[in-house]
Amino acid sequence: MKVRVGGLAVAALVVAVVVVGSAGARANACGTVTLNEQAWAGSTANTYVVKNVLEKSLGCKVNITKVAEVPVYQAMADGKTDAILEDWGHAPQWAQYVTKQKTVVRAGPNGVKGVIGWYIPTYLMKQHPEFKTWKGLKGEESLFKSPESGSQGMFLGGDPSYQQKDQTLIKALKLNLKFVSVGAEPAQVARWTQLYKQKKPVLFYWYDPQYLNATYQVSQIQLPARFKGCLDDEKVGGPPAKFACAYPSYTLLKFMSKKFATSASPAVGVVQRFSWSNADQNAVAKMIAGDHMNPDQAAQKWIAANKAKVNKWLGK
């Protein structure tokens, strides 16, 4: 007669769990909501602000997923994520998931206008006012030389996961620049901020809203005006000439999973009504990434100072 010790241990655990189990239940009118947060600080900002509004005002339990820009559509289709609050335009995914499968639905714009383009430090713009437009770069590309670019000037490319067309654009505009990718955004930021601190010339892919824009002065270079049939996604392919135009201005959109959208949760309305400005997003992003504040704290700080806007989202 051997006492099975393993069984004893399990029994003890089961007892503990049962004793404890009842303590977990909590009544929720709202239930659980899953929001997706992208890697950049702006996304953290809007996600955590909505999270705190939902938690504090509606008593929801909010989970955060961190899925990349494109796979998140699959996550929404599977019901793993309920909503994303910042999408920069993924036409192929819209066609596939929103139009064809109807597993994801639009939830309106989030109020932020996205701008992508070519940027240089403002101090450089002051020294070379001709750089206001891209034509001014011609002949002066060697100013941007780097160890990787040899005799050509260096164009610092963006994070590989971002939409970009600069390689083709450089070719189309016939500029003597070499496209150099230093990798993901932190690496790119490291590079151009260091050159900025040394007051050296640097030409790079950049965008707004971006929290660093509050700390560093950068100016955009004007690219050729947009025309009908302009292409922006290098990976889709096409003749170079069609890429020779500026990036479009992006109305950043929100998306929800069909499952969430058709549920009776009060959170759906809040997500749909959520909207704020570039300045709002940059401010919160700066608190999180620049001042290293805890995202929940940063969100609560902003919410406390902007009750009117929040009430609008709550439909009050």
Shortest Å distance, C-beta 81 to other proteins: 8
Q: Please, which residue, 212 or 270, has the CB nearer to other proteins?
A: 212
* Cis peptide upstream of residue 266 (ω within 30 degrees of 0): no
Q: Please, which residue, 134 or 162, has the CB nearer to other proteins?
A: 162
**How many residues make up the chain in this entry?**
316
CA distances from 45 to 138, 164, 257, 267, 283 (A): 39, 23, 21, 18, 9
| Residue 229 structure tokens | 């049939």
Shortest Å distance, C-beta 288 to other proteins: 6
Q: Please, which residue, 125 or 288, has the CB nearer to other proteins?
A: 288
Shortest Å distance, C-beta 241 to other proteins: 20
- Closest Cα partner for 230 from 221, 220, 240? 240
d(CA 316, CA 308): 9
Cα 295 to its chain centre, rounded Å, is 15
Shortest Å distance, C-beta 184 to other proteins: 5
Q: Please, which residue, 4 or 316, has the CB nearer to other proteins?
A: 4
Q: Please, which residue, 183 or 248, has the CB nearer to other proteins?
A: 183
Shortest Å distance, C-beta 122 to other proteins: 19
Q: Please, which residue, 63 or 220, has the CB nearer to other proteins?
A: 63
d(CA 72, CA 84): 8
Shortest Å distance, C-beta 89 to other proteins: 12
Q: Please, which residue, 42 or 266, has the CB nearer to other proteins?
A: 42
Shortest Å distance, C-beta 69 to other proteins: 7
Interaction site with other proteins (CB under 8 A): 2-3, 5, 8-9, 11-13, 15-17, 19-21, 23-24, 37, 39-41, 44, 65-75, 77-78, 80-81, 90, 92-93, 96-97, 100-101, 103, 146-148, 150, 160-161, 163, 180-187, 190-191, 193-195, 197-198, 235, 288-289, 292
Shortest Å distance, C-beta 308 to other proteins: 28
Q: Please, which residue, 88 or 134, has the CB nearer to other proteins?
A: 88
Place of tokens 């069984």: 7
Place of tokens 């290098």: 234
d(CA 126, CA 122): 6
